[in-house]
Structure 1
Amino acid sequence: MAPILDIKHLRKSYGPVDILKDINVSIEPGDFLVLVGPSGCGKSTLLNCIAGLEPITGGQLQIAGQDMTHVSPKDRNIAMVFQSYALYPTMTVAKNITFGMKVRGVDQANQQAKLKEVAELLQIDHLLNRKPGQLSGGQRQRVAMGRALVREPALFLFDEPLSNLDAKLRVEMRTEIKKLHQTLNASIVYVTHDQIEAMTLATKIVVMKGGVIQQIGTPAEIYNQPANLFVADFMGSPAMNLIPAKVARDGGSHRIEITRPGEAPLVLSDPRPLDLPGDVIMGLRPEDIAEAGFRAGAQVQQASCMVDMVEPAGADTYVVSSLGGRQVTARLHAETSARAGQPLDLAFDLAKVSYFAPQTGERLN
């Protein structure tokens, strides 16, 4: 099956400044691709290049097998949902949704049929006679989505559509967008700086930094096998613990030594057949550090650590200790006995450890 979107060696520059550098990415029909990264990484610029709102400096862009590199936005068979909703304030909800169809010359009967179908799908059929000023932020976003849906495009583009909503409404709308994707099997490219949004919505994630793709993969691949230190630190909440360590061969295993303030180093043993240098950054997710007795496995090792801080968070409790000169977070059960200033036996799951090169940041295992 041909990709619905295929980008090859795309570059975007403003004068001498390179904004996007050799972007290569493709998605299959029905994929939900999320472009994620910090502000200024180039994700919105890439979305605008896909939409045709920004001319590209070099490379090629195909949509549904057709070369769209230099084609006008109106001829790309796309629909875009903006952060600002971009609704006409003097028009009713119904007219906002059908306006594009009217401009394209769709007959009145088809306009009304599509309006009814989309309004019921988005549960806004009771709002059709209202104007945008009479709607909540979530309702306005549904109207903006409805306007895109009636087009039945090859590709939907979403530019941070939830960033203007409060936290509770963001979660609700995220669920609605995921349901829509599953119902319609639509092909979507979605921009966000929120890595939780990226993890929950995407079938494929593109992590960007400084106009360069850092990693492309499924949410599970990005989370469990980050390609470098940037991805490891950016994806996940709380972020992956990144701990400097010394490595030495010890028979068939690796001896992992981590400094601790005012006490002997923490020593762990990794039996995996890895090729590691003498200095590494050891990456371990907070959920892979448990209270002793609450984690089992062949590669789970226990050690006593001094607790610096305890942060209750409802179903979880986060416990912070100092290891390798870094603040290391463990995600423990809510009823933990951990107390600040007291030692606590922790279990480290060495099977889940990622190792990174300190100089380049690249993944080593």
Structure 2
Amino acid sequence: MAPILDIKNLHKSYGSVEILKDINVSIDPGDFLVLVGPSGCGKSTLLNCIAGLEPITGGTLSIGGRDMADVTPKDRDIAMVFQSYALYPTMTVAKNITFGMKVRGVDAATQDRKLQEVAQQLQIEPLLNRRPGQLSGGQRQRVAMGRALVRDPKLFLFDEPLSNLDAKLRVEMRSEIKKLHQNLGASMVYVTHDQIEAMTLATKIVVMKGGVIQQIGTPSEIYNTPANLFVADFMGSPAMNLIPAKTRKNGAGTILEITRADGAPLQLTDTRNQDLPNDVLLGLRPEDIAEAGFRAGASVQEAECLVEMVEPAGADTYVTSHLGGAQVTARLHAETSALAGKPLSLAFDLAKVSYFEPNSGMRLN
């Protein structure tokens, strides 16, 4: 199957300032690609290059097998949904949605049929005669999506479409977009700085930092096997625990020695025969540190830790401790007996551990 979007060795500079550096990514038809990273990492610039709103400085970019080098945005067979909605304030919702079709010379009957289809799909039928000024933020975003949907393009592009909405509405609209993707089987590229949005929507995630791709993978790959410290820290809420440790081999495997502020070092044994340097950063997600007795298995090891803070959060309780000079968060069940200032036996699941080289930040296992 030929990729619907294929980007090879793409560079983008403004004068002597390089914004995007050697970008290589492709997606198959029906994929939902999410570009995620902190502000200023280049994700919106990359989206604008795909849309043709920004010329590329080097490399190639093709959509549906066609090189986009000299193709204008209107001829790229794309539809874009912006953060700002970009609706015409003097037009009704119906006219906002059909305006693009009208400009392209689509006949009135087809315009009306497509309008009714998307209005039903997005549940905006009662709003068709209103103007944008009479709509809430969520309703405006639905109209902006409706305008993109009637295009039936090769590629949908979303530029942080939910960032202007309040938290509850953002969760609702996220579900709407996921449902749309499932129902349409459309190809989508979506920009966000919200890693929860990225994890829930994507079939493929591109994590960016400073104009460089840090990792490309499925949500599961990005979450469970981050390629470096940046991805480990950026993806996940709370972030992955990164604990300095010393390693040494013995007959049983690799001993991981972690300093404790309140006494003898904590020792864990990774029975897999890992070939590790003497100093590592040991990465464990908060959910992979449980209260002793609540997780069993050959890879689970228990150790006593001093609890510094207990944070109830509904279904979970987050407990923080200090190990190796780093703050460590464990995600425990709501009824935990953990008390601040008291020791608690914690179970570490070493089957889930990631090892990182402290200086380069690269993954070791």
Alignment TM-score > 0.5, same fold: yes
Matches within 5 A, 1:241-280: 241-280=241-280
Alpha carbons 2:242, 2:283 under 8 Å: kept: yes
Q: Name the residue aligned to 2:231.
A: 231
User: What is the distance in 2 between the residues matched to 1:92 and 1:98?
Assistant: 10
In the alignment, does 2:327 pair up with 1:327? yes
Structure-2 residue corresponding to 1:160: 160
What does residue 296 of structure 1 align with? 296
SS at match of 1:199: helix
Instruction: Say which SS state the counterpart of residue 331 (structure 2) adopts.
Output: strand
- 1:128-173 superposed Cα distances (whole Å, 9 cap, x missing partner): 0000011011000000000000000000000000000000000000
Cα deviation for residue 197 of structure 1 reads: 0.1
Q: Does 2:182 correspond to 1:182?
A: yes
1:346 maps to 346
How many Å separate the matches in 1 of 2:271 and 2:71? Answer: 55
Q: 1 CA distance for matches of 2:282 and 2:17?
A: 35
Give yes or no for the alignment of 1:144 onto 2:144: yes
Q: Distance in 1 between matches of 2:213 and 2:233?
A: 15
Task: Give the distance between the partners of 2:173 and 2:143, measured in 1 at CA.
Answer: 12
Structure 2 spans left out of the alignment, 5+ residues: none
Q: Deviations over 1:274-322 (max 9, x none)?
A: 1100000000000000000001111100000000000000000000000
Distance 2:18 2:296 in 1: 49
Q: Helix, strand or coil: the match of 1:358? A: coil
Distance 2:273 2:208 in 1: 31
Q: Is the 1:12–1:58 contact (alpha carbons within 8 Å) kept by the matching residues of 2?
A: yes
How far, CA to CA, are the matches of 2:114 and 2:214 in structure 1? 40
- Paired with 1:103 and 1:36, the residues of 2 have a C-alpha distance of 34
Distance 1:230 1:76 in 2: 34
Residue 69 of structure 1, CA deviation: 2.4
CA deviations over 1:302-343 (Å, ceiling 9, x no partner):
000000000000000000000011110000000000000000
Rounded to whole Å, the distance in 2 between the matches of 1:263 and 1:309 is 19
1:182 alignment partner AA: Q
Partner residue, 1:337: 337
Q: Is the 2:252–2:269 Cα contact (8 Å) retained in structure 1?
A: no
User: 2:123: which partner in 1?
Assistant: 123
Distance 2:77 2:167 in 1: 32
C-alpha distance in 2 between matches for 1:46 and 1:70? 17
Correspondence for 1:109: 109
State how far apart, in whole Å, the 2-side matches of 1:150 and 1:125 are: 15
Pairs within 5 Å for 1:40-55: 40-55=40-55
Contact 1:52 1:70 (C-alpha < 8 Å) held by counterparts: no
- Aligned pairs for 1:351-362 within 5 A: 351-362=351-362
Once the two structures are TM-superposed, the CA of residue 252 in structure 1 deviates from its matched residue by: 4.0
Instruction: Name the aligned partner's letter for residue 97 of structure 2.
Output: I
Aligned identity (percent) is 82
Aligned counterpart, 2:7: 7
Secondary structure of residue in 1 paired with 2:20: strand
Task: Tell me how far 1:250 sits from its aligned partner.
Answer: 1.1
Once the two structures are superposed, residues 24-78 of structure 1 have per-residue CA deviations (whole angstroms, 9 ceiling, x without a partner) of: 0000000000000000000000000000000000000000000012311011000
Q: Kindly provide the CA deviation profile for residues 206-244 of structure 1, in whole angstroms up to 9, marking residues without a partner as x.
A: 000000000000000000000000000000000000001
Give the letter aligned to residue 163 of structure 2. S
Query: For residue 59 of structure 1, what is the amino acid of its counterpart?
Result: G
Distance 1:336 1:262 in 2: 22
Give, as a single letter, the amino acid of the residue that structure 1 aligns with 2:192.
Answer: T
CA distance in 2, matches of 1:69, 1:76: 11
SS at match of 1:330: strand
Q: Counterpart of 1:286?
A: 286
- Per-residue CA shift, 1:170-194, capped at 9, x if unaligned? 0000000000000000000000000
Q: Is the 8 A contact 1:37 1:193 kept in 2?
A: yes
Distance in 2 between residues matched to 1:348 and 1:184, nearest whole Å: 42
Structure 1 residues without counterparts, runs of 5 or longer: none
Whole-angstrom distance in 2 between the partners of 1:272 and 1:89: 63
The answer to whether the 8 Å contact 1:55/1:70 transfers is no
Using the size of structure 2 for normalisation, the TM-score is: 0.99
- Alignment partner of 1:29 is 2:34: no
Q: Matched residues in 2 for 1:158 and 1:277: separation?
A: 43
Q: CA deviation at 1:263?
A: 1.0
Which residue identity is paired with 1:162? L
Alpha-carbon distance in structure 1 between the residues aligned to 2:69 and 2:77: 13
* Other-structure match for 1:58: 58
Match for residue 307 of structure 1? 307
Aligned length: 365
Structure 1 stretches of 4+ with a deviation exceeding 3 A read none
Structure-1 separation of matches of 2:266 and 2:192: 38
Aligned equivalents of 2:164, 2:112: Cα separation in 1: 30
**Which residue matches 2:132?**
132
